[in-house]
Homo-oligomer: A and B are copies of this chain.
Amino acid sequence: MRQVVMHGPGNVQVEQRQDPKIIEPTDAIIRLSATCICGSDLWPYRGAEPVDHQVMGHEYVGVVEQIGDDVHTVEVGDFVVGSFWASDNTCEICRAGYQAYCVHRVLMGTIGTQAERARVPLADGTLVATPGMPDPSLIPSLMAASDVLGTGWFAAVAAEAGPGKTVAVVGDGAVGLLGVLAAKQLGAERIIAVSRHADRQALAREFGATDIVEERGDAGVARVKDLTDGLGAHSVIEAVGTQEAMMQAIRSTRPGGHVGFVGVSHDVAIPGDELFMAGVHLHGGPAPVRRFLPELVQLIWDRKIDPGKVFDLTLPLDRAAEGYRAMDERTAVKVLLTV
C-alpha cells in the first residue's frame, strides 16, 4: 500500500509499504477514505522536533476491512471515526473521560494513518461507527472530528465555555477555528477570535466569532480586556503552543476564569509567581477526543455543524508533499488527503 513517510525535515514522500495485519485480537484494519495533515505534523517538518523516516498521520476515517477475534462493537463494512490515541475506553482513566491517557493507549502517529490502510489497536474502545455509510459531503467533517474538531471541542470544554460566557480564542489554525465553533455550540455569549488573516477571520465569524482581535501578545491582552470591562474573558482557548500564546491566554483570562490549552507546547515555561497571582484555572494537553466522538459524529450526521470547512485544500494522498508545503507556508489552513 501507499504510505506517507517523512524522511527528514521538509522531506515528505509517498512510498510503497506492506499492508498492515492484525497483530492483537483487539485490532481492526481499516481502509481509509480520507486522512489529513495536522498542525502538529509541521513541528518535525520544520525541524522543531526530530524526525527520521517516520510514518506520518494520526487522523483517519474509513471502512473496517478486517477485525480481530476480540472485536465486538464494530463490524467489517462499518464506516468508522477514531481519535489519534487508541484507547480501551474501559480503564479508570478512560471512564473519567481522559482516553488520551488510557492505561493501554497507543499513539496512532506511530502507526501512521496517512496511508491507504491502517491497523487500529483497541478497536472496540477506539472506533465509533457512523449510523450508516456517509454521504461524501460529510467526509471532511467526520475527518475533522478525528482530531481538530475533537481538540477544539476539548479546549472549549476545558475553558468552560458556556452560556453567559465571553470566550477568547488564541490561535487561528484549524483547532482554534473549531474552538470557536465548539464555544458557539456550547452556548457562549460572546466569542473573540484572535487572528490577523482575513480568510481565517471570515471562517471564525462563520463559526460564531462575534469579535476579532488582530493584536498579539500584550497588545492582544489589552484588546481583550477592553472588550470585557477590564476584567478579561471568562474562558480562553490556547491553540498555538508557544510561550507568547500561552502567556497571552493566561493574561487574557479574568481571575477565576478558565484557560483551555491544546497547542502542543514547545519551549514554554509558565512563571509560577504570575500564574499564582493570575488566579486562573489551567487545563489542557492532548485532547481526549474519544470522549466527545459520539456526540460530534451525531452533530455532523444531523448537519448541525460543518467543521469540514476548515479544509481549504484537498489533494490525493500521492500529493501529500504539496499539502505539507501549503500548510507550512500557511497558504492552506488544513489539508485533506483523499485515499
A255 contacts across to B, CB distance below 8 A: 93, 98, 100-101, 285
A264 touching B276 in the complex, CB below 8 Å, given contacts A101-B255, A231-B93, A270-B270: yes
| Residue from the list B98, B271, B283 in contact with A269, Cβ < 8 A | B271
A268 near B279 with CB under 8 A, answer no
Interface range on chain A (Cβ under 8 Å from partner): 35 or more
Q: How many angstroms from the CA of A284 to the CA of B276 in the assembled complex?
A: 6
| Residue from the list B93, B96, B279 in contact with A285, Cβ < 8 A | B279
**Nearest Cβ distance between residue A156 and chain B, in whole angstroms?**
15
B279 near A282 with CB under 8 A, answer no
Q: Which of A270, A272, A280, A281 has the most CB of B within 10 A?
A: A272
Residue A97 lies at the interface, judged by CB distance under 8 Å to chain B: yes
Residue A277 lies at the interface, judged by CB distance under 8 Å to chain B: yes
Residue A302 lies at the interface, judged by CB distance under 8 Å to chain B: no
Q: How many angstroms from the CA of A117 to the CA of B327 in the assembled complex?
A: 66
A97 near B282 with CB under 8 A, answer no
**Nearest Cβ distance between residue A178 and chain B, in whole angstroms?**
19
* Copies of this chain, whole number: 2
A265 contacts across to B, CB distance below 8 A: 272-273, 275-276
B277 near A286 with CB under 8 A, answer yes
A283 near B285 with CB under 8 A, answer no
Q: Which of A93, A246, A255 has the most CB of B within 10 A?
A: A255
Residue A243 lies at the interface, judged by CB distance under 8 Å to chain B: yes
Residue A46 lies at the interface, judged by CB distance under 8 Å to chain B: no
B281 near A281 with CB under 8 A, answer yes
**Nearest Cβ distance between residue A69 and chain B, in whole angstroms?**
28
- What 0/1 pattern do residues 152 to 164 of A give for CB contact below 8 A with B? 0000000000000
B267 near A101 with CB under 8 A, answer no
Q: Which residue of B lies closest to A280 (CB)?
A: B283
A256 touching B93 in the complex, CB below 8 Å, given contacts A265-B275, A267-B272: yes
Q: Which residue of B lies closest to A261 (CB)?
A: B276
- What 0/1 pattern do residues 103 to 118 of A give for CB contact below 8 A with B? 1000000000000000
| Residue from the list B97, B241, B276, B281 in contact with A286, Cβ < 8 A | B276
> Among residues 77 to 98 in chain A, which have CB atoms less than 8 Å away from a CB atom of chain B?
92-93, 96-98
Residue A278 lies at the interface, judged by CB distance under 8 Å to chain B: yes
A273 touching B266 in the complex, CB below 8 Å, given contacts A100-B255, A254-B93, A255-B93: yes
Q: How many angstroms from the CA of A186 to the CA of B45 in the assembled complex?
A: 49
Given contacts A93-B231, A98-B256, 12 further A-B contacts (CB under 8 A): A93-B254, A93-B256, A96-B256, A98-B255, A98-B279, A101-B254, A268-B276, A269-B270, A270-B270, A275-B284, A281-B281, A281-B282
Q: Supply 6 A–B pairs (Cβ within 8 Å), ascending by A.
A: A93-B231, A265-B273, A268-B273, A269-B271, A275-B285, A279-B284
The interface of chain A, by Cβ under 8 A from chain B, is 92-93, 96-98, 100-101, 103, 229-231, 241, 243, 246, 254-256, 261, 264-273, 275-286, 288
